[in-house]
Structure 1
């Protein structure tokens, strides 16, 4: 007669995996906020700094500003899967330490640049060495209990969105007070504080066994069912495409029905409205997704965002567009936490970092395609068609996710240890 017994060692290991998830979440939210602030605070004064570095012609200043700002997203999109895979092998905390220390050094060096080529190279380095927010997503997603994953990722998403909102505001206030170069040094010091918090406060970071065992599958081959992962890559790209396809034309669009002296103010509020809505809704929608299903909330958010895009094409006053963009931000706030949660629930822990890295790359791809597509459609067919086209893309994305979800639920369950 054999008796089965529960191995206490395994129980303790599982408990220890999630023992410090709340502290880790707090540090990751703080670190993501500060690093995003540092990355975005240069938006208001980037053209002025390019001019200080010796570029004199107006067209060249605009061109170099765009190149310098976009350089970070280019290298970040290329390296995100690599850093995710290294995090799976050697630990997620180690990647956060690398990102925070690297960004602290590079952001400080930006304040010492002597020409625009050095600035461009340093912006490339930020994307190459950075990635604290995406690394935090990996750590929180893998070291939070599955039943709280959506809520935790929603809190983290709120911190990231808050950084995107606060960064340009701080960047508009600091340079007149302390100078542009000193602003870069201050941002470097801020991120160094994040580095210290990461080193001393984040606990329990155990590398996975990926690649250590003979014959153990790694990468895409380790995923038993790949369609949910592919759907999340598409969804992440669509989210950023929807955001960025509208952003470049907001100011020009607002100028059609707002007095000239109010255009920049209203355009700024419109852009901030969507971010504010996402900050408010992200954690709440993440918590709801933990109860009713992450895929259900994701599909609902895509549909609502798509529907809200249509009336934006017919607004006649600034406040109408502000309200609609705020409501759309409320819907979009639930997408990133749900995307990460679906990935967390459908891939083995040994490759979670790699797959979340691919998701980050897909989002950066949307950030690149969005402005290009929005500018082309707006220039050739009219700005209203940018809203119509983006609405169609979001609703098609919802239909695609519903189809994948339906097929996935009818399949026999796959073993996927937490």
Structure 2
């Protein structure tokens, strides 16, 4: 852990600003997250509309992000990732303020879709961070930015609940909109313009890094597929989780929320440790461990589906979250390392789009399977999907061999 702290200090003050912006802005957007079904139920005229819109209010932003992230990434490569961060925060602020006044379900769904289209903050923030740090220890950097997102989400949901108890759902969205607007102003006023490295030693180091990439990388599409498979496996449980807790354990709501939160807690605690463990490791080494992590996730989700003890179930979720801390941030760092330095925004935007597509697919699969085969079928399904990820990681490990840089074809 001491090594990780030293690396973070080496990033400088810009990292602290990036971490703070991501923590605050993502927390603001999650203030309304758990409570959208309450708002949709209040405005719905029928049970069918509520069922459809209750899913759509979460899926619509994901679809918007998946359609536009690659475009915003290319714009970031051309006009600067800093500008794209400000644009995304301003877009989130405007759409969140508009949503706060929406009184019709279909208008809310439209605004949520536009919110996803205007968003795309995470990818340019990652690309900007890599740019200002010269690509050093990118796995640690991306992991801590992901930690900021997770911690912000947990804190935002709690703050949103406090606001809802004291006021109204409209107040939650208004507060979030103003917070995002303040973040946009802060990013524009404080974040420095990246300065390219011009000295000979820096150019030599970059050349050596790129030569190392050429020897160790696997196809970017393969890394994106593996990332999507592991993310979709987790998202299968997004819709049926609360229903499963009620049917199998007859758990009160606080136990359901606590168990679900343990997944994020495990991620937050373990992700920096995984980042330090994988720092400066070869792609082949990381892929071997990805196979082991996928196997561990498969085993844990099998146990989660078999146990009828809510205490054991909670412990399994904490351990599962710990394993997840070594998946998406590390794989995204590999995707970034495989891309040319001038295309970080485009490649990371594509990665974010792919993650959103995988999330939507996972949510749809989980909702469909639980409806057709019952809630007890979801954990065996997740276990099988993680087993498939294991074989995908092994396949990528076998394909890792000397090759030319493969970031350009994306």
State TM-score, norm by structure 1. Answer: 0.83
CA distance in 2, matches of 1:324, 1:51: 33
Q: Does 1:334 align with 2:323?
A: no
Q: Does 1:97 align with 2:86?
A: yes
CA distance in 2, matches of 1:48, 1:257: 24
Matched-pair contact (CA < 8 Å) for 1:20–1:203 = no
Which residue in the other structure is 2:127 paired with?
Answer: 138
Q: Which structure's CA Rg is the greater one?
A: 1
Q: CA deviation at 1:73?
A: 0.8
Question: Structure 1 pair 117/365, CA: closer, same or farther in 2 (3 Å)?
Answer: same
Which residue in the other structure is 1:316 paired with?
Answer: 308
1:248 is matched with which residue: 239, 242, 250? 239
Matched-pair contact (CA < 8 Å) for 2:218–2:399 = no
Matched-pair contact (CA < 8 Å) for 1:31–1:133 = no
CA distance in 2, matches of 1:189, 1:237: 33
Which residue in the other structure is 1:238 paired with?
Answer: 229
Q: CA deviation at 1:300?
A: 3.3
1:170 is matched with which residue: 118, 142, 159? 159
CA distance in 1, matches of 2:133, 2:355: 23
Q: CA deviation at 1:332?
A: 0.5
Which residue in the other structure is 2:367 paired with?
Answer: 375
Matched-pair contact (CA < 8 Å) for 1:82–1:354 = yes
Q: CA deviation at 1:412?
A: 4.8
Offset from partner CA, 1:328-371 (integer Å, 9 cap, x none): 10010121221121112211112221111111111111211112
Matched-pair contact (CA < 8 Å) for 1:83–1:357 = yes
Superposition pairs of residues 65-214 of structure 1, within 5 angstroms: 65-205=54-194
Q: CA deviation at 1:50?
A: 3.3
CA distance in 1, matches of 2:35, 2:135: 42
Matched-pair contact (CA < 8 Å) for 2:339–2:406 = no
Matched-pair contact (CA < 8 Å) for 2:230–2:389 = no
Q: CA deviation at 1:254?
A: 2.1
Between stretches 80-89 and 290-299, larger displacement belongs to: 290-299
Q: CA deviation at 1:20?
A: 9.0
Which residue in the other structure is 1:26 paired with?
Answer: 16
1:394 is matched with which residue: 383, 386, 400? 386
Q: Does 1:305 align with 2:297?
A: yes
Which residue in the other structure is 2:25 paired with?
Answer: 35
Offset from partner CA, 1:274-332 (integer Å, 9 cap, x none): 11111111122111110444444433322322221111111111111111011010010
CA distance in 1, matches of 2:249, 2:9: 53
Q: CA deviation at 1:415?
A: 9.9
CA distance in 1, matches of 2:131, 2:288: 21
CA distance in 1, matches of 2:223, 2:266: 22
Question: Structure 1 pair 416/20, CA: closer, same or farther in 2 (3 Å)?
Answer: farther
Matched-pair contact (CA < 8 Å) for 1:42–1:171 = yes
CA RMSD between the two structures: 2.8
Between stretches 138-147 and 389-398, larger displacement belongs to: 138-147
Offset from partner CA, 1:48-98 (integer Å, 9 cap, x none): 43355x533343234323223321111111001111111111111010010
Between stretches 391-400 and 179-188, larger displacement belongs to: 391-400
**Counterpart of 2:308 in 1: which secondary structure?**
coil
Offset from partner CA, 1:177-207 (integer Å, 9 cap, x none): 1322222111111112211221122223369
Structure 2 gaps, min length 5? 1-7, 198-212
Q: Does 1:228 align with 2:219?
A: yes
Question: Structure 1 pair 172/62, CA: closer, same or farther in 2 (3 Å)?
Answer: farther
Question: Structure 1 pair 344/111, CA: closer, same or farther in 2 (3 Å)?
Answer: same
Q: CA deviation at 1:147?
A: 4.4
Matched-pair contact (CA < 8 Å) for 2:347–2:407 = no
Which residue in the other structure is 1:289 paired with?
Answer: 278
Between stretches 370-379 and 72-81, larger displacement belongs to: 370-379
Question: Structure 1 pair 39/207, CA: closer, same or farther in 2 (3 Å)?
Answer: farther
Matched-pair contact (CA < 8 Å) for 1:228–1:405 = no
Q: CA deviation at 1:232?
A: 1.8
Between stretches 270-279 and 291-300, larger displacement belongs to: 291-300
